[in-house]
C-alpha cells in the first residue's frame, strides 16, 4: 500500500496551520504550524502544559476538526490526503493513534478483538486480519494476554495493546499523544522499542510528550511550542547539545535517562524546610526515627488477596515495614506489582489483613480510613462540594474550623480560590484541594497515587514543593510513582515493590541515588 | 474486579449473540407478563431456570448462586409475608418482593449476555441482521461503558468512605456526592471512547469485516425453539385465558 506517494515525499506535511476550538471546548488552539515529516522520521512535540502539543496531534489524525470542532486554516496532508477535509475513516487508513489514557481508548472488552478492531473497521479481508493480528501480537509480546479481558490488564499492558492495535493496520504515520504518562520504566522501554520498529519499517512518527527521556537519540526533529506557536525548532543532535540550563528555562523534563536519574544539586545545597535541622541525619539513619521522640509508623503482616478466575491469589504480602515520621517514601516498582493494593490497604479501603501502628496506637481498617488519606490519581473522584472552602470544611469539627480551613488554604496557595467551584480549577489546583482535605482532618499519613503523571517540569516541581510543605507540618507521606525526577526532587526514602512484596527499602541521599537508578534501569532492556 | 468482564477465553457455552437476544426477549416477556394456571407456572419455571443454569455452566457459579439466592429469597418473602403481615406493611413488602423476584432472572440473563459476548461478536451479529450503524454502535459502546463506569464508581465510593460520607449519616448529600463526580467522569469517558473509535475508522462506509466466527449450532436451535414455544404459550394463554388450563 503506497498510496501513490513519491519516494522521499513527506508523509506528514503541515503548512501554516491554525486551529481554534469552537465554543467552550477546553483545549489550546495553535497558529502558524508548519512541519514536514518523512518516512522513517520522528518528530517530537514538546512544551509546557497547554502549549498546544495535543492539538497538533489531533490535527494530524483528523480528530481536529472532525471530532473536536473548531475552525481550521492552512493545510494538513498525510501522504497527499487533505486530512482536514477527508472523512475520519479515510485518514484512519493512513494514520494510527495511541492516546494518553490507557483506560478510555479501547472499544472492545477482549484483547484479540481490540487488536483486530481497526482492521475490521477498514474492511480488510478476515484472513489478512488474522495474519496482521498474529504479527502484532508477536511483536508486542501479547500472546499470554490474548484471551484476557481488557479490564484485568495493568496500565502498561493496556498501552501495549493500544500500540499493537495501531500497528495492525500498517499505518504510514503513527501519532502518539503523551503515551508514557501512566507507564513504568519497563513499559517505557518497550514503547521505545516499538517506536524504533515503526521507524525502521518506514512509518513516520509524531509524538507529543512531557517525559522525553526515552526518546533520547530517536528524535529527528524537536519542535518546541509556546502558546500555540512554534517557538523553537531543533534537529535531534542540536536538541541533545542544548545547554541544560536552557532546557530547564524552557520548562522541559530531562532529555536522557541519565539526566532523569541524576541527583539534583539544589536539594543538597538548600534544605527544603528550614525548621527541620535534622534532615541530613534523617536521610542516613532511616530505621531510627528522624525525631527520636516520635516512633515510626509501623505496618505488620499486611496482606490482601484478589480473585482471579474464581481463585484467590495473594496480591500483597508485607510482613513488616517502618516509615519514619514526617518522611516522604517513594513507592516504586513495575505496573501490577501491588503498589495500589498496598495504598488501598494502608488507607483501609480494600479487603486486607494486618495492622498499622501510629504513635503507639494500633489502627484497624475503620480507624485507618479516618487517619490516613489517599490523594487519588484521578483527583476528580474526591471532589464533592460546591466550593473549595466547603470541600475543606466537610468533615472538620470545632468552632475555629473556618479559620483553620483558611489557614490551610493559604499554606497551599489556594486562599484566593476559596469560593471557586472545584471543577473550575486546573488539575494541579484540584490536587492541592485534595491535599487540603487531608490536612484539614489532621491525617498523620497521606498517600499519593501517581501525582505527577502527565505533568510538565514546572507542575512536577510544584507538586514536589507542596509535598515538602506538607512534610513541614509533620505528616508522613507515601508517593506511588514511576517518575525518578520527581522522586529525586522531594522523597526522603525509597521502597521498591515487586510481586506484592517490599523488595528493598533505603533512605535517599546522594550516596544511594545510584541504587534508585538501578531499580529503574533494571527494566530498561527487556 | 470481575464485574461484567468478558473473558473470551473461558467459554463453555457458545451461543450466537442473536440467540441470546431472542432468549433475553423471551425470558423477560414470560416472567413479566406471567400468565396464570399450572401450565404457565411450568413455562415460567423453565424460563426462570435458564439464566441461572447458563451462568453456572459458563463458570460464573458465584454470580449464579447469588442471583438464585436473591430470587428465592424475594419469592419466599412474597409467599410467606402475605399471610403474616397486614395493611400497608403487607402491601409494601409483597409488592416490592414480587417486583424484585420477577426482575432478578432477567438481570441474571443480561449479566450472562454481557459477560460472554465480545464487542466483535455482537457487531458481527448485528451486521448479519442488517441493523444500521446508528443502532449497532451506541449499543456496542455499552459493553465498555458500564464496566468502565463501574471502576470509576468504585473509586468514588472509596473516596467517600475515606471522608466518612455514608448513606446513613448523610442521606441525600451522599447521593449528590456520588453523582456529581460520576457524571463528570461519564462525560469524559464517553468522549475519549468515541474519539479513539473514530480515529480508528469506526463508522466508515466500507463494509466492516469480522474475524470472529458466529453462527447457529444445535444448542442455538434448541434455545430458540424453547424460547419460541414459551412465548407462544404465553401469547395463547393471554388471548384465550380458558384454553390452557
CATH class of A296-521: alpha beta
Q: Is the confidence at residue B134, as pLDDT, over 70?
A: yes
- How far is A49 from A456, CA to CA, in rounded Å? 6
Cβ–Cβ below 8 Å for A380 and B208: no
- Is the pLDDT higher at A241 or at A23? A241
Highest mean pLDDT (candidates A237-241, A297-301, B54-58): A237-241
Which DSSP letter does residue A128 get? H
- Chain A hits for B181, CB-CB cut-off 8 Å, are 380-384
Question: What does chain B come to in residues?
Answer: 245
- How far is A262 from B73, CA to CA, in rounded Å? 64
Question: What average pLDDT does range A173-202 have in this prediction?
Answer: 92
Cβ–Cβ below 8 Å for A110 and B59: no
- Is the pLDDT higher at A423 or at A316? A316
Q: Is the confidence at residue A477, as pLDDT, over 90?
A: yes
Task: Write out the three cell numbers for B140.
Answer: 456496542
- Is the pLDDT higher at A168 or at B146? A168
Residue with cell 509501623: A298
Cβ–Cβ below 8 Å for A104 and B188: yes
pLDDT at residue B228, rounded to an integer: 93
Q: Does B203 touch chain A (CB under 8 A)?
A: yes
pLDDT at residue A310, rounded to an integer: 58
Residue of chain B whose Cα is closest to the Cα of A100? B192
Phi, psi at A356, each rounded to 5°: -140, 145
Q: Which of B162, B181, B204 sits opposite A369 (nearest CB)?
A: B162
> Which B residues 125-144 touch A at CB under 8 Å?
140-141, 143-144
> Which B residues 172-191 touch A at CB under 8 Å?
176-177, 180-181, 184-185, 188-189
Q: Does B11 touch chain A (CB under 8 A)?
A: no
If you count residue pairs, one on A and one on B, with CB atoms under 8 Å apart, how many are there? 203
Distance from CA of A322 to the nearest CA of B (A): 23
- Chain B hits for A396, CB-CB cut-off 8 Å, are none
Residue with cell 475515606: B162
List residues bridging with A207 in a β-sheet: A44, A176
Q: Is the confidence at residue B6, as pLDDT, over 80?
A: no
Question: Is-cis flag, bond preceding A65, omega within 30?
Answer: yes
Cβ–Cβ below 8 Å for B8 and A90: no
Same fold, A12-260 and A296-521: yes
Q: Is the confidence at residue B241, as pLDDT, over 80?
A: no
Under 8 Å between Cβ of A350 and A344: yes
pLDDT at residue A309, rounded to an integer: 57
> Which B residues 73-112 touch A at CB under 8 Å?
none
Phi, psi at A315, each rounded to 5°: -100, -20
pLDDT at residue A275, rounded to an integer: 37
Rg (CA), chain A: 24
Residue of A58, A27, A63 lying closest to A45 (CA atoms): A58
pLDDT at residue B203, rounded to an integer: 80
Cβ–Cβ below 8 Å for B120 and A120: yes
Residue of chain B whose Cα is closest to the Cα of A111? B8
Question: Is-cis flag, bond preceding B190, omega within 30?
Answer: no
- Is the pLDDT higher at A195 or at B89? A195
* % pLDDT > 70, chain B: 94
Q: Give the sign of the dihedral formed by CA B143, CA B205, CA A92, CA A138.
A: positive
Cβ–Cβ below 8 Å for A63 and B195: yes
- Is the pLDDT higher at A275 or at A196? A196
Average pLDDT in chain A: 87
Residue A81: count of CB within 10 angstroms of its CB? 19
Under 8 Å between Cβ of A302 and A316: yes
Cβ–Cβ below 8 Å for B120 and A113: yes
3-state secondary structure of A306: strand
Under 8 Å between Cβ of A92 and A131: no
Phi, psi at B150, each rounded to 5°: -60, -45
- How far is A341 from A500, CA to CA, in rounded Å? 8
- How far is A483 from A452, CA to CA, in rounded Å? 7
* % pLDDT > 90, chain B: 12
pLDDT at residue A58, rounded to an integer: 94
Cβ–Cβ below 8 Å for B211 and A116: yes
pLDDT at residue A446, rounded to an integer: 94
Q: Is the confidence at residue A247, as pLDDT, over 90?
A: yes
- Chain B hits for A64, CB-CB cut-off 8 Å, are none
Residue of chain A whose Cα is closest to the Cα of B189? A104
* % pLDDT > 90, chain A: 52
Q: Does B29 touch chain A (CB under 8 A)?
A: no
Pairing relation of β-strands A221-226 and A42-46?
parallel
pLDDT at residue A61, rounded to an integer: 94
Cβ–Cβ below 8 Å for A437 and B10: no
pLDDT at residue A289, rounded to an integer: 42
**pLDDT tens sequence across A300-330:** 888 888 766 556 778 888 888 999 999 999 9
What distance lies between CA B71 and its chain's CA centroid? Answer: 14
Q: Does B170 touch chain A (CB under 8 A)?
A: no
Cβ–Cβ below 8 Å for B203 and A88: yes
Distance from CA of B186 to the nearest CA of A (A): 11
Cβ–Cβ below 8 Å for A108 and B161: no
Question: What average pLDDT does range A341-370 have in this prediction?
Answer: 88
What ipTM describes this predicted complex?
A: 0.82
Residue of B69, B91, B58, B71 lying closest to B31 (CA atoms): B71
Pairing relation of β-strands A12-21 and A70-78?
antiparallel
Residue of A16, A190, A162 lying closest to A100 (CA atoms): A162
Cβ–Cβ below 8 Å for A384 and B165: yes
Residue of chain A whose Cα is closest to the Cα of B169? A395
Which residue ranges make up each domain of chain A? 12-260, 296-521
pLDDT at residue A6, rounded to an integer: 55
Cβ–Cβ below 8 Å for A106 and B196: yes
Distance from CA of B214 to the nearest CA of A (A): 13
Cβ–Cβ below 8 Å for A89 and B193: no
Most A CBs within 10 Å, among B6, B162, B202, to test the A interface? B162
What CATH architecture does domain A12-260 belong to? 3-Layer(aba) Sandwich (3.40)
- Chain A hits for B59, CB-CB cut-off 8 Å, are 309-310
**pLDDT tens sequence across A485-514:** 999 999 999 999 988 899 989 999 888 888
Cβ–Cβ below 8 Å for A126 and B151: no
Cβ–Cβ below 8 Å for A122 and B193: no
Q: Does B49 touch chain A (CB under 8 A)?
A: no
Confidence of residue A269 (pLDDT cuts 50, 70, 90): very low
Question: What average pLDDT does range B26-48 have in this prediction?
Answer: 84
List residues bridging with A177 in a β-sheet: A208
pLDDT at residue A2, rounded to an integer: 43
Confidence of residue A25 (pLDDT cuts 50, 70, 90): low
Confidence of residue A445 (pLDDT cuts 50, 70, 90): very high
Distance from CA of A295 to the nearest CA of B (A): 25
A111-121 helix and A155-168 helix, angle to the nearest 10 degrees: 30
* H or E segment and range at residue A316: strand A311-323
pLDDT at residue A171, rounded to an integer: 96
Amino acid at each position: 500500500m503506497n498510496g501513490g506517494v513519491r519516494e522521499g515525499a513527506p508523509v506528514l506535511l503541515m503548512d501554516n496551520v491554525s486551529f481554534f476550538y469552537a465554543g467552550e471546548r477546553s483545549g489550546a488552539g495553535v497558529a502558524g504550524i508548519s512541519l514536514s515529516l518523512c518516512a522513517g522520521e520522528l518528530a517530537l512535540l514538546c512544551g509546557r502544559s497547554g502549549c498546544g502539543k495535543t492539538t497538533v496531534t489531533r490535527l494530524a489524525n483528523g480528530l481536529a476538526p472532525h471530532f473536536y470542532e473548531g475552525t481550521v486554516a492552512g493545510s494538513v496532508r498525510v501522504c497527499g490526503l487533505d486530512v482536514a477535509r477527508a472523512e475520519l475513516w479515510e485518514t484512519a487508513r493512513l494514520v494510527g493513534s495511541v492516546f494518553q489514557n490507557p483506560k478510555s481508548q479501547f472499544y472492545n472488552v477482549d484483547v484479540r478483538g481490540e487488536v483486530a478492531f481497526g482492521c475490521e473497521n477498514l474492511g480488510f479481508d478476515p484472513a489478512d486480519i488474522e495474519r496482521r493480528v498474529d504479527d502484532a501480537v508477536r511483536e508486542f509480546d501479547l500472546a499470554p494476554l490474548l484471551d484476557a479481558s481488557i479490564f484485568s490488564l495493568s496500565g502498561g499492558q493496556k498501552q501495549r495493546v493500544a500500540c499493537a492495535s495501531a500497528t495492525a493496520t500498517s499505518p504510514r504515520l503513527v501519532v502518539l499523544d503523551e503515551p508514557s504518562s501512566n507507564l513504568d520504566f519497563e513499559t517505557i522501554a518497550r514503547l521505545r522499542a516499538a517506536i524504533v520498529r515503526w521507524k525502521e519499517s518506514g512509518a513516520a512518527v509524531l509524538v507529543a510528550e512531557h517525559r522525553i527521556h526515552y526518546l533520547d537519540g530517536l528524535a529527528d526533529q524537536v519542535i518546541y511550542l509556546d502558546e500555540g506557536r512554534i517557538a523553537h525548532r531543533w534537529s535531534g543532535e542540536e536538541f541533545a547539545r542544548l545547554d541544560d540550563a536552557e532546557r530547564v528555562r524552557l520548562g522541559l523534563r530531562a532529555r536522557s535517562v541519565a539526566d532523569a536519574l541524576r541527583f539534583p544539586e539544589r536539594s543538597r545545597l538548600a534544605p527544603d524546610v528550614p525548621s527541620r535541622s535534622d534532615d541530613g541525619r534523617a536521610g542516613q539513619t532511616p530505621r531510627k526515627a528522624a525525631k527520636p521522640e516520635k516512633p515510626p509508623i509501623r505496618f505488620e503482616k499486611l496482606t490482601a488477596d484478589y480473585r482471579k478466575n474464581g481463585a484467590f491469589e495473594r496480591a500483597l504480602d508485607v510482613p513488616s515495614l517502618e516509615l519514619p515520621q514526617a518522611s516522604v517514601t517513594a513507592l516504586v516498582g513495575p505496573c501490577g506489582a501491588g503498589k495500589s493494593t498496598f495504598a488501598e490497604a494502608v488507607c483501609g479501603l480494600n479487603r486486607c489483613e494486618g495492622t498499622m501502628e501510629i504513635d503507639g496506637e494500633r489502627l484497624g481498617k475503620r480507624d485507618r480510613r479516618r487517619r490516613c488519606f489517599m490523594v487519588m490519581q484521578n483527583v476528580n473522584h474526591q471532589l464533592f462540594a460546591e466550593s473549595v472552602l466547603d470541600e475543606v470544611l466537610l468533615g472538620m469539627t470545632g468552632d475555629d474550623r473556618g479559620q483553620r480551613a483558611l489557614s490551610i488554604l493559604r499554606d497551599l496557595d489556594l486562599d484566593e480560590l476559596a469560593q471557586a467551584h472545584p471543577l473550575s480549577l486546573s488539575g494541579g489546583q484540584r490536587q492541592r484541594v485534595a491535599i487540603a482535605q487531608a490536612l484539614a482532618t489532621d491525617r498523620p499519613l497521606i498517600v499519593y497515587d501517581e501525582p505527577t503523571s502527565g505533568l510538565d517540569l514546572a507542575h512536577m516541581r510544584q507538586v514536589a514543593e507542596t509535598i515538602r510543605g506538607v512534610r513541614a507540618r509533620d505528616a508522613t507521606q507515601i508517593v506511588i510513582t514511576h517518575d525518578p525526577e520527581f522522586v529525586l526532587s522531594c522523597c526522603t526514602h525509597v521502597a521498591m515493590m515487586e510481586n506484592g512484596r517490599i523488595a528493598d527499602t533505603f533512605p535517599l541521599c546522594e550516596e544511594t541515588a545510584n541504587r534508585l537508578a538501578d531499580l529503574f534501569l533494571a527494566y530498561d532492556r527487556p | 474486579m470481575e464485574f461484567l468482564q468478558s473473558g473470551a477465553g473461558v467459554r463453555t457455552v457458545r451461543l450466537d449473540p442473536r440467540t441470546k437476544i431472542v432468549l433475553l426477549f423471551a425470558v423477560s416477556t414470560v416472567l413479566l407478563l406471567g400468565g396464570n394456571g399450572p401450565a404457565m407456572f411450568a413455562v415460567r419455571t423453565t424460563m426462570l431456570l435458564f439464566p441461572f443454569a447458563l451462568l453456572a455452566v459458563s463458570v460464573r457459579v458465584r454470580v449464579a448462586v447469588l442471583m438464585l439466592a436473591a430470587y428465592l429469597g424475594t419469592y419466599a418473602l412474597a409467599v410467606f409475608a402475605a399471610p403474616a403481615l397486614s395493611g400497608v406493611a403487607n402491601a409494601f413488602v409483597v409488592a416490592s418482593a414480587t417486583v424484585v423476584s420477577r426482575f432478578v432472572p432477567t438481570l441474571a440473563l443480561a449479566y450472562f449476555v454481557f459477560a460472554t459476548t465480545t464487542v466483535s461478536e455482537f457487531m458481527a451479529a448485528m451486521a448479519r441482521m442488517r441493523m444500521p450503524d446508528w443502532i449497532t454502535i451506541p449499543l456496542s459502546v455499552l459493553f465498555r461503558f458500564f464496566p468502565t463506569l463501574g471502576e470509576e464508581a468504585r473509586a468514588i465510593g472509596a473516596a467517600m468512605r475515606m471522608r466518612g460520607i455514608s448513606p446513613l449519616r448523610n442521606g441525600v448529600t451522599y447521593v449528590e456526592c456520588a453523582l456529581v463526580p460520576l457524571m463528570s467522569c461519564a462525560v469524559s469517558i464517553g468522549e475519549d471512547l468515541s474519539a479513539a473509535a473514530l480515529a480508528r475508522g469506526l463508522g466508515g462506509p466500507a463494509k466492516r469485516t469480522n474475524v470472529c466466527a458466529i453462527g447457529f449450532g444445535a444448542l442455538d436451535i434448541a434455545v430458540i425453539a424453547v424460547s419460541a414455544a414459551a412465548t407462544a404459550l404465553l401469547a395463547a394463554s393471554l388471548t384465550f385465558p380458558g384454553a390452557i388450563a
